[in-house]
Amino acid sequence: MNKALVYKTWLETRTRFLTAVVVTLAVCGFFTLAHSWIEANWHRDLIEHPEYDNPPWFLRVMRDYPFYLYHFVYADFFQKIWVFLAVLLGVGGLSREAAHGSAGFTLSLPVSRTRLFGARALVAIAELLALVVLSLVSILIGSWIMRLPYPIDHGITHLATLFLGGLFFLAASLCLSEFVEGENNPIIIALGGIGLLYFVMQPYVDGAPLDWFAIPFAIPKLMAGPPDITSAADIAWIGMLASLAAAALLTATAVRRTRRGDY
Amino acid sequence: MIQSFAIETDALTKYYGDFEAVRGLTMRVPKGTITGFLGQNGAGKSSTIRMLLGMSRPTRGNGRVLDFDIADEKQSIEMRKRVAYVGEDKRLYDYMTVRQMIDFTKAFYPAWRSETEQKLLDEFRLPPDRSTKKLSKGMRTQLALLLAFARGAELLVLDEPTEGLDPVMAEKVLELVVGAAADGATIFFSSHQIAEVEQIADRILLIDRGQLLLETTLESISTNFRRIRGVYESAPKPATLAIDGVTRIAVDGRVVSVMASHNSVSIAERMRASASAVEVMPMTLKEIVLESLKRDQS
Amino acid sequence: MTLFLKPNPASGVPIYVQLKEQIRHACETGALRPGDSLPGIRALAESMVINPNTVARVYRELELEGLLELRHGVGAFVASRGTTRWTAARSGQMKAAQKAAKSFVSELRRRGLEPDEIRRLVEAELATSDGRVPLVG
């Protein structure tokens, strides 16, 4: 019975998940395989356009490969995509089924609503984990192909923070799906929220020191972590645990809502 | 004598915001019967069914299905192991094929009947590998019914089971319903096809604007319900016709028409005292339903 | 199954009465003979697409009337004892009833009544009585 629920959720999210896989492989693959091409362009710009304003991370990114990956994958560009993917995987649930018309069938099954939610959450977390593993694998393989030495612990540590932070967005998506009706509305609203978050946090991501009022919203920095960390001990666990606690709270809210809702 | 009921409700009420969809509904469906649930669209049929099956919470009142309390989640889950539901929205999972839907549903019901599954798959000519998204409405209904009948359920709750089906398939569905009843299941189905209800039901429940208007057996309809008409010289006072059994009085010029649920002999006699040409006529289910749904005639 | 026709729910005659009439008619015409088995309740209900409780009731009532024998666990059979007598008496009754109906209808037609008016009169008369048919024999 649980197997059947998990199988159902898998079939339901399969297309989304495979899209996410393609996006992940494409982005991570691009940044590794296109590294020399990107670097060549930068060198040319430095020579031909000395008037260009260079961002603070520019010089280091050019000569330090792990930092290059840190900047483009873990801290900035891919992180934003990652967050969107986490939200995408969390969409679903009874509200969505109600919009589609199959809620009656699902709710007439001899299964508790908690279990229905649990299957959904489980599959989403597993899919997120799979994506993170795929990122690592594609980065390692891409770097190896390009003969760019890359310490594996750097990758593991940063992808771990990305995963743990991603759980927060996943939980937010699971929760939002229970409150918002319609098949696509949760995604639209989530995108709006994330856009706002990153807009506000961008200066800090770029390197400005954290103001006190920005701390609760500092999850993008939390997911990026300091650039050079290579082990679990270096992770900002206090912040990470706070984020996981928030995720747990959102999940509990979602469960409560699904249990009490009228369909 | 212990009567066992498949469904019983006591003052079941449901508010959606300010709107009272179901008002103090008290009804009983005996086990082993086929009950037709009649009412116009928006009368509260689906709201009632949703409460019975645990999809929405009653605002007030309580109910039991197969002796399980509908408001208790654990009991509701136990109950659902023995109940098959086909809703008005016969949509299933877009992302599954016919075969996948069957295998998925099968996993939840230990009493699943594979022979019924195979028989219906053949009779309905459902292509196992087609996505449910690509099925016509009629085929979707058939698949939903297959999933219901193969469950080996004690109670079948069917909302418009023959909707969208051609006459041959509709008759086939009624045949399946009757077969399930012969196996001991209780059937509770709502339908706009009064002819179907007359054909197979033991009892009917008529609901209008959230309230129960009529709860009776088909037999009572043929033996007790009567239309009694008389020609009056001058319009009688309604009080004179307020006799036990009179449910509706309609006046049209000099003709007074009374619908009686029983006691027609005494009512006719009373009318003969002051009216001429008093006729007593049987009523069809359709006439009774339409008459009952007419807004205030007194 | 071609032995029995599907009843017409809209005919004004209750389904169980129609079914009873069909079974009696089958016995009278010899389509069913003493000792013949009738379809099981489930099978008959399914083929006629009517309520199984209705079939059960018809079988019970016909057993009380002596036309059928219900053998527990086996099924319903046309009663062998006294059926010939019963059928003969019954078909005698039917013949006499047919004659009465013929003279009744032609009398009313002679008085100028239309077929629909005659039908309404008869229905009203039946509806006024308490609806129960006296058991035969």
- Chain B positions touching A259 (Cβ under 8 A) are 73
Q: Smallest CA–CA separation between B161 and chain A, in Å?
A: 14
**Distances in whole angstroms, Cα of residue C40 to Cα of each of A139, B73, B154, B173, C52:** 72, 41, 21, 20, 10
Which residue in A1, A13, A97, A107 has the most chain B C-beta atoms within 10 A of its own C-beta, making it the best mutation to test that interface? A107
- Chain C positions touching B35 (Cβ under 8 A) are none
- Does B268 contact C at CB distance below 8 Å? yes
Q: Which CATH architecture has domain B226-282?
A: 2-Layer Sandwich (3.30)
Which value does ipTM take for this structure? 0.89
Give the model's pLDDT for residue C84: 57
Mean pLDDT on B72-85 = 96
Greater confidence, A22 or A56? A22
Query: Residue C15 maps to which CATH number?
Result: 1.10.10.10
Number of domains into which chain C is organized: 2
Give the model's pLDDT for residue A231: 82
Question: How does residue A53 score in pLDDT terms, banded at 50, 70 and 90?
Answer: confident
Give the model's pLDDT for residue C83: 55
pLDDT in tens, C41-63: 999 999 999 999 999 999 999 99
- Does B168 contact C at CB distance below 8 Å? no
* Structural domain for C34, as ranges: 1-80
Q: Could you say which of B84, B95, B108 has the minimum Cβ distance to residue A1? A: B108
pLDDT in tens, A143-165: 999 998 899 998 899 999 999 99
C43 and C104 in a single domain? The answer is no
C63 and C91 in a single domain? The answer is no
- Chain A positions touching B55 (Cβ under 8 A) are 103-104, 107-108, 262-263
The helix (run of H) or strand (run of E) holding residue A77 is helix A77-90
Q: How far apart are CA A119 and CA A106, in angstroms?
A: 13
Contact C127 B268 (CB under 8 A): no
C60 and C26 in a single domain? The answer is yes
pLDDT in tens, B210-257: 999 999 999 899 889 999 999 988 877 777 778 888 988 888 888 889
Contact B200 C12 (CB under 8 A): no
- Chain B positions touching A111 (Cβ under 8 A) are 77, 108
C64 and C123 in a single domain? The answer is no
C92 and C64 in a single domain? The answer is no
C14 and C63 in a single domain? The answer is yes
Q: What is the dihedral of CA B228, B233, B237, B241, to 10 degrees?
A: -20
- Residue A258 DSSP SS3: helix
Distance of CA A147 to the CA centre of its chain: 28
Q: What is the mean pLDDT of chain A?
A: 89
Residue B202's contacts (CB-CB under 8 Å, 6 or more residues apart) are B33, B34, B35, B217, B218, C51, C53
Nearest CA in chain A to B156: A108
Give the model's pLDDT for residue C108: 92
- Look at residue A39 and tell me whether its pLDDT is greater than 70: yes
The helix (run of H) or strand (run of E) holding residue B211 is strand B211-217
Give the model's pLDDT for residue A121: 96
Residue B177's contacts (CB-CB under 8 Å, 6 or more residues apart) are B34, B156, B158, B161, B187, B189, B200
Greater confidence, A213 or A195? A195
C1 and C67 in a single domain? The answer is yes
Q: Would you list the DSSP string of A51-63?
A: TSPPPTTHHHHHH
- Chain C positions touching B219 (Cβ under 8 A) are 14
Q: How far apart are CA B77 and CA B105, in angstroms?
A: 15
Give the model's pLDDT for residue C1: 57
Residues found in chain A: 263
Q: Which amino acid is at A43?
A: H
pLDDT in tens, B88-123: 888 899 999 999 999 999 999 999 999 999 999 999
- Does C51 contact B at CB distance below 8 Å? yes
- Does C53 contact B at CB distance below 8 Å? yes
Q: How far apart are CA B57 and CA A263, in angstroms?
A: 9
C61 and C98 in a single domain? The answer is no
Q: Smallest CA–CA separation between B33 and chain C, in Å?
A: 8
Radius of gyration of chain A (CA): 20
Q: What predicted TM-score, i.e. pTM, was given to this entire model?
A: 0.85
C13 and C58 in a single domain? The answer is yes
- Does A8 contact B at CB distance below 8 Å? yes
- Does B202 contact C at CB distance below 8 Å? yes
- Look at residue B164 and tell me whether its pLDDT is greater than 60: yes
Q: How far apart are CA A198 and CA A80, in angstroms?
A: 8
Residues of chain B with CATH 3.40.50.300: 5-219
- Chain A positions touching B92 (Cβ under 8 A) are 102, 105
Mean pLDDT on B14-37 = 95
- Look at residue C135 and tell me whether its pLDDT is greater than 60: no
* Subunit partners of chain A (3 or more CB pairs within 8 A): B
Give the model's pLDDT for residue B205: 96
- Chain A positions touching B56 (Cβ under 8 A) are 262-263
Greater confidence, A169 or B273? A169
Mean pLDDT on C18-31 = 88
Contact B107 A112 (CB under 8 A): no
| B182 token code pair | 């012969």
Q: Are A164 and A239 in contact (CB under 8 A)?
A: no
Contact B199 C49 (CB under 8 A): yes
Contact C45 B178 (CB under 8 A): yes
Is residue C137 one of the residues assigned to a domain?
no
Q: Could you say which of B199, B281, B284 has the minimum Cβ distance to residue C50? A: B199
Greater confidence, B175 or C81? B175
Residues of chain B with CATH 3.30.70: 226-282
Is residue C48 one of the residues assigned to a domain?
yes
> A93-100 and A152-179 are packed helices; what angle lies between their axes, rounded to 10 degrees?
50
Mean pLDDT on A23-36 = 92
Question: How does residue A56 score in pLDDT terms, banded at 50, 70 and 90?
Answer: confident
The helix (run of H) or strand (run of E) holding residue A132 is helix A113-145
Nearest CA in chain A to B104: A4
| B119 token code pair | 């028989």
C45 and C99 in a single domain? The answer is no
Q: Smallest CA–CA separation between B215 and chain A, in Å?
A: 26
Q: Which fold has domain B5-219?
A: Rossmann fold (3.40.50)
Question: How does residue A1 score in pLDDT terms, banded at 50, 70 and 90?
Answer: confident
C46 and C74 in a single domain? The answer is yes
* Subunit partners of chain C (3 or more CB pairs within 8 A): B
Mean pLDDT on B247-272 = 89
Question: Do chain B and C touch: 3 or more Cβ pairs under 8 angstroms?
Answer: yes
Contact A7 B94 (CB under 8 A): no
- Look at residue C79 and tell me whether its pLDDT is greater than 90: no
Residue B121 burial (CB count, 10 A): 19
Q: Would you list the DSSP string of B214-257?
A: EEEEHHHHHHT-EEEEEEESSPPPGGGG--TTEEEEEEETTEEE
Give the model's pLDDT for residue B1: 44
Greater confidence, A256 or C130? A256
- Chain C positions touching B123 (Cβ under 8 A) are none
